[in-house]
């Protein structure tokens, strides 16, 4: 039974989702990093919000961990690179708090435009400073969005509804989507020059860090007002404070800061700044939504292999997971077989090609290709799985290609894996018998028909009389029982293949004797 630890506060309904699906669940919030490291080895899943830090040290102490689920969109508190290297899926919930965060950005814009926080404080203090708080309308103004994804697109729709002119800088925004939203796509410099309000909606990456640098802020339209409900570190806060003092920037509304909790900042003593303590997702609806969503996603993965909203792995929906599972197993087994053959002789793997025919051509290939790579790399590295295999292949300079054939196939479904090394090229093909049982149907272009077994011996030999007798007698003399025996050949008297499944592993000394038999070219367990 899978076991999940919830280390940050989630709703009782989320906890019940885990338990109702048969997952053992412990709720232990407020743990110190040391206390969390001391117990994490017992768990398959870790559900968190923003308080828990999933560091490399924590992952090193978690040999059984399979999935980390973040109830929220940001994964700044998760070392995704280390998790990927260890084969741990990292999931977030990008849609559960999108409306809440977008609404907060709009609220911050209005608060900034009408100086609502200062006006409220002044009025409560008994001062009636009506003439002091002269605001600006948003109607007719230009709203510039840096980022127009899940949250940014909602802000865009709200901005259009407020009769604002909305422009957006987002390299990933399709022209068709921009047209649907009523947004004009522009480059960053054009946005800076034109926008009366700038709202940021991008993740924190090396490319977006300090996207509003001092130089960028100086290029902005005089009197611009800036809203950031995305991530701290997107704005040079010192430069922003300086330009607020000069009046080049008329105001700023910030929900996020470079260092959080933000207990001090050069922005805090400025009347033109509105601040909130990272409240973008802080509504009852959003907190409940992301908690329920992460519980469902983690449960689906642990129980059925379905992958939703993963940061470091291709998605597999709950509906397609049962259908893909036998294909992924077929690809893993074929990859493992091919990888073992390739590691039998010296030669660096340069290229892996996965071909899909028949029904296999119609499936979601990203997870099956990842499974194939995991099998290929298993003989040469420890703890490889579908999560870290694609990364490991890239790090080793292995070119990976997928080929989908629409042609008619001899089999209802067929997957072929070809490995090119510095020495030679090998291929193996397989199918699913009765829709779910993996079978080998071809090795190096030679037809065979064999199932997979725990202990197998692959032999290439010359197709001449006497080989089968000598080979069988040698195994019998060693007390090794043959479970199944499969032969194939390219042509009479040419290269042949012998593939046998055995009741036990072949001892090293027996393998050496097989390798020295007359007519044997290669013998690989």
| Catalytic residue annotation | 231, 260, 278
DSSP 26-91: EE--S--HHHHHHHGGG-SEEEE-SSS-B-HHHHHT-TT--EEEESSS--TTB-HHHHHHTT-EEE
What's the gap between Cα 387 and its chain centre?
8
Q: What beta strand segments (E) does 224-275 contain?
A: 224-228, 249-254, 273-275
Neighbours of 97 (CB within 10 A): 26
Q: What is the CA radius of gyration of the chain?
A: 30
Task: Provide φ and ψ at 336, rounded to 5°.
Answer: -65, -45
Pull the structure tokens for residue 22.
């048969």
How far are the Cα atoms of 81, 356, 428 from residue 393, in angstroms, in the given order? Answer: 15, 20, 19
Calculate the CA dihedral of residues 182, 187, 189, 192 and round it to 10 degrees: 20
Reduced 3-state DSSP string for 396-463: CCCEEEEEECCCCCCCCEEEEEEEEECCCEEEEEEEEECCCEEEEEEECCEEEEEECCCCEEEEEEEC
Place of tokens 């077989």: 337
DSSP 461-497: EE--TTHHHHHHHHHHHTTPPEEEEEEEESSTTSEEE
Stretch (H or E) spanning 363: none
- As a residue count, the chain comes to 525
The H helix count followed by the E strand count for the chain is: 17, 22
Burial group, residue 243, by CB count within 10 angstroms (0-12, 13-18, 19+): buried
Pull the structure tokens for residue 160.
């259009």
């Amino acid at each position: 039974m899978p076991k999940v630890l919830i280390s940050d506060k989630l709703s009782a309904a989320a906890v019940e989702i885990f338990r109702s699906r048969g997952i053992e669940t412990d709720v232990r919030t407020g743990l110190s990093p040391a206390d969390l490291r001391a117990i994490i080895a017992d768990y398959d899943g870790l559900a968190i919000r923003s308080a828990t830090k999933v560091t490399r040290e924590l992952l090193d102490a978690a040999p059984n961990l399979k999935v980390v689920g973040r109830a929220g969109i940001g994964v700044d508190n998760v070392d995704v690179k280390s998790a990927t290297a260890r084969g741990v899926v990292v999931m977030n919930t990008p849609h559960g708090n999108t409306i809440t965060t977008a609404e907060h950005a709009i609220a911050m814009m209005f608060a900034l435009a009408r100086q609502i926080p200062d006006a409220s404080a002044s009025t409560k203090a008994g001062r009636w400073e009506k003439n002091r708080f002269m605001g600006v309308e948003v109607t007719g103004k230009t709203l510039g969005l840096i980022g127009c994804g899940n949250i940014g697109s909602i802000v865009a729709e709200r901005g259009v509804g407020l009769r604002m002119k909305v422009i957006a800088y987002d390299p990933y925004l399709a022209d068709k989507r921009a047209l649907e939203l009523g947004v004009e796509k522009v480059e960053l410099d054009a946005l800076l020059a034109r926008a009366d309000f700038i709202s940021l909606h991008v993740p924190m990456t090396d490319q977006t860090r300090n996207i509003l640098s001092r130089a960028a802020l100086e290029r902005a339209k005089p009197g611009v007002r800036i809203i950031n409900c995305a991530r701290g570190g997107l704005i040079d806060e010192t430069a922003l404070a300086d330009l607020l003092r000069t009046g080049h920037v008329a105001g700023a509304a910030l929900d996020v800061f470079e260092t959080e909790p933000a207990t001090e900042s050069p922005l805090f003593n400025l009347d033109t700044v509105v601040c909130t303590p990272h409240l973008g997702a802080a509504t009852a609806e959003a907190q409940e939504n992301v908690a329920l969503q992460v519980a469902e996603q983690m449960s689906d993965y642990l129980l059925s292999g379905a992958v939703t909203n993963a940061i470091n792995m291709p998605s597999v929906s709950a509906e397609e997971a049962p259908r893909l599972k036998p294909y992924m197993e077929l690809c893993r087994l074929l990859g493992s077989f091919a990888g073992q053959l390739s590691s039998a002789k010296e030669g660096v793997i340069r290229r892996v090609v996965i071909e899909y025919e028949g029904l296999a051509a119609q499936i979601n290939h990203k997870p099956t290709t990842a499974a194939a790579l995991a099998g290929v790399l298993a003989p040469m590295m420890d703890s490889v799985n579908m999560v870290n295999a694609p990364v490991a292949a890239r790090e080793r300079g292995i070119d990976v290609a997928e080929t989908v054939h629409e042609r008619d196939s001899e089999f209802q479904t067929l997957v072929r894996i070809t490995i090119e090394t510095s020495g030679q090229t090998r291929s193996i093909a397989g199918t699913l018998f009765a829709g779910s049982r993996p079978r080998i149907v071809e090795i190096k272009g030679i037809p065979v028909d064999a199932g997979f077994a725990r202990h197998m011996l692959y032999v290439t030999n010359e197709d001449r009389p006497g080989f089968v007798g000598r080979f069988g007698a040698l195994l019998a003399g060693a007390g090794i029982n043959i479970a199944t025996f499969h032969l194939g050949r390219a042509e009479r008297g040419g290269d042949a293949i012998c593939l046998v499944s055995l009741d036990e592993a072949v001892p090293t000394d027996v393998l050496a004797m097989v390798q020295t038999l007359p007519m044997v070219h290669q013998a690989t367990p």
